[in-house]
C-alpha cells in the first residue's frame, strides 16, 4: 500500500506534449498529430493494440493473457533527466504512445484514471519493465532508467502502462485530469 498526496504527483497543469504510434514492432514510435484510443484495445494502428498481450516477450509466455500494456506513457521530465545525463532523447523514442508533462506518473497508484482531452480515459495498470532494447537504442540507457530507493528497492523509471477505458482522440496540448482510485492505494508494479 502507498500513501498518495495529490500534490506529489501533480507539479503543474498536466498535459500531453506528444502522441506516438508504430504499426511495426519497433523500439521507437513516430510522433503524430493525434492518436485514436480505442476502449479495451489501445492505440489504433499501433503494434501493441489488442485485447490480449502483444509485447513479444509476453506473447512467448502466454499469448492469451490480457493486454495490460495497451498504452505506454512517459513523463517528459524523464527525458529532461536523461538529456542532462548526456542521452539524446525525444518524445516517442523510448516507445511511448503518450508523453506527458506536469505529472509524476511513477508515484500514481494502480487504478488511477487519466482523463485526456475531452473524453479519453486510460487506467494505469503498472510500470514498464525496462529491457535491453534500451541499450540497443543508446548504450547505457537501461541503467539510466533504473535506480534504487533508500531501502535498496529497484526503481523502474521507464514509464507506466495502461488500458483504454473510454475511446477518443488524443493530441499534443490536451490537458490531463487525474482521478485516483478508492483507497487503500496500491503502488504500481511491473506489468
CA atoms of 65 and 53, how far apart (whole Å): 6
Count structural domains, the chain: 1
Q: CA-CA distance, 74 to 166, in Å (whole number)?
A: 20
Nearest alpha-carbon partner for 69 in 149, 21, 132, 127:
127
Judge whether residue 57 has pLDDT over 90. no
Answer yes or no: is 23 within a domain.
Answer: yes
pLDDT classification of 188: cutoffs 50, 70, 90: very high
CA distance 73 to 99: 6
Q: Is residue 160 part of a domain?
A: yes
Residue 3 has pLDDT above 60, yes or no: no
Residue 1: what pLDDT?
A: 33
CATH classification of the domain holding 114: 2.40.33.20
**Residue-range definition of the domain harbouring residue 13:** 6-179
Cell of 159: 514509464
Report which of 57, 53, 49, 140 is spatially closest to residue 97, judged by C-alpha positions. Answer: 49
| pLDDT tens track for 110-163 | 999 999 988 999 999 999 999 889 999 999 999 999 999 999 999 999 999 999
Is there a domain that residue 190 lies in? no
Amino acid at each position: 500500500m502507498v500513501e498518495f498526496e495529490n500534490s506529489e504527483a501533480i507539479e503543474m497543469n498536466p498535459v500531453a506534449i506528444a502522441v506516438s504510434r508504430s504499426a511495426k514492432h519497433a523500439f521507437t514510435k513516430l510522433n503524430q498529430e493525434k492518436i485514436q484510443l480505442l476502449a479495451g484495445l489501445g492505440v489504433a494502428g499501433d503494434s501493441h493494440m489488442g485485447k490480449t498481450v502483444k509485447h513479444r516477450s509476453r506473447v512467448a509466455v502466454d499469448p492469451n493473457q490480457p493486454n495490460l500494456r495497451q498504452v505506454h506513457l512517459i513523463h517528459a521530465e524523464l527525458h529532461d533527466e536523461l538529456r542532462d545525463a548526456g542521452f539524446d532523447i525525444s518524445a516517442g523514442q523510448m516507445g511511448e504512445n503518450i508523453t506527458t508533462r506536469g505529472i509524476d506518473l511513477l508515484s500514481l497508484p494502480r487504478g488511477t484514471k487519466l482523463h485526456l482531452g475531452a473524453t479519453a480515459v486510460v487506467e494505469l495498470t503498472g510500470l514498464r519493465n525496462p529491457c535491453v532494447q534500451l541499450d540497443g537504442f543508446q548504450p547505457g540507457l537501461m541503467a539510466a532508467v533504473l535506480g534504487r530507493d533508500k531501502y535498496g528497492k529497484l526503481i523502474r523509471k521507464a514509464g507506466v502502462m495502461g488500458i483504454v477505458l473510454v475511446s477518443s482522440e488524443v493530441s499534443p496540448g490536451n490537458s490531463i485530469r487525474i482521478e485516483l482510485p478508492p483507497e487503500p492505494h496500491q503502488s504500481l508494479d511491473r506489468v
